[in-house]
Amino acid sequence: MAFKADLLKRKLEAEGKKPDQLAALIKKHKRTVRRWLAGTNPPKPKDLEAIARVLNCKAQDFDPFFADMGLGEVSIQAHVSAASHNAYELMRWRYGVSQKQIMELAPVLFAIVAGHALKVPDQDDALEQAARLSGRSSTQMLGDHIDRQASKLKQCFGLPSPDPNNEPSRNLFDTAIHRLSIQAADYVNARWYVGAEAGDVPGASGYVPDADFLEEITGGDSALVESIVKGRIRLSTVLQEIQEIKGGKNRISVEAFAVAIRHARDCAEFCALAW
Q: Report the alpha-carbon distance of residue 12 to residue 9 in Å, rounded.
A: 5
- What does the pLDDT look like over 54-79, one tens digit per residue? 888 877 777 655 545 444 556 666 67
Q: Report the alpha-carbon distance of residue 149 to residue 167 in Å, rounded.
A: 13
CA angle, 86 as apex, 256 and 173 as ends, to 5°?
145
Please give the pLDDT value at position 247: 63
Question: Given 47, 67, 87, which residue is the final one in a domain?
Answer: 67
Q: Phi and psi dihedrals of 189, rounded to 5? A: -160, 160
Please give the pLDDT value at position 47: 85
Size of the chain, expressed as the number of residues it contains: 275
- What does the pLDDT look like over 215-230, one tens digit per residue? 998 988 999 999 999 9
Q: Report the alpha-carbon distance of residue 113 to residue 195 in Å, rounded.
A: 14
- What does the pLDDT look like over 89-101, one tens digit per residue? 999 888 989 888 8
Please give the pLDDT value at position 2: 65
Q: Is residue 87 a part of any domain in this protein?
A: no
CATH of the domain at 25: 1.10.260.40
Q: Is residue 15 a part of any domain in this protein?
A: yes
Q: Is residue 175 a part of any domain in this protein?
A: no
Question: Given 43, 67, 91, which residue is the final one in a domain?
Answer: 67
Question: Given 31, 46, 67, which residue is the final one in a domain?
Answer: 67
Quote the number of domains for the chain.
2
Question: What domain range includes position 49?
Answer: 5-67
Q: Is residue 25 a part of any domain in this protein?
A: yes
Q: Is residue 248 a part of any domain in this protein?
A: yes
CB 231 within 8 A of CB 206: no
CB 146 within 8 A of CB 167: yes
Q: Report the alpha-carbon distance of residue 162 to residue 160 in Å, rounded.
A: 7
Q: Is residue 185 a part of any domain in this protein?
A: no
Q: Is residue 183 a part of any domain in this protein?
A: no
**pLDDT value at 137 more than 90:** no
Q: Is residue 193 a part of any domain in this protein?
A: no
Report, as an integer, the average pLDDT of 261-274. 65
Q: Report the alpha-carbon distance of residue 153 to residue 268 in Å, rounded.
A: 45
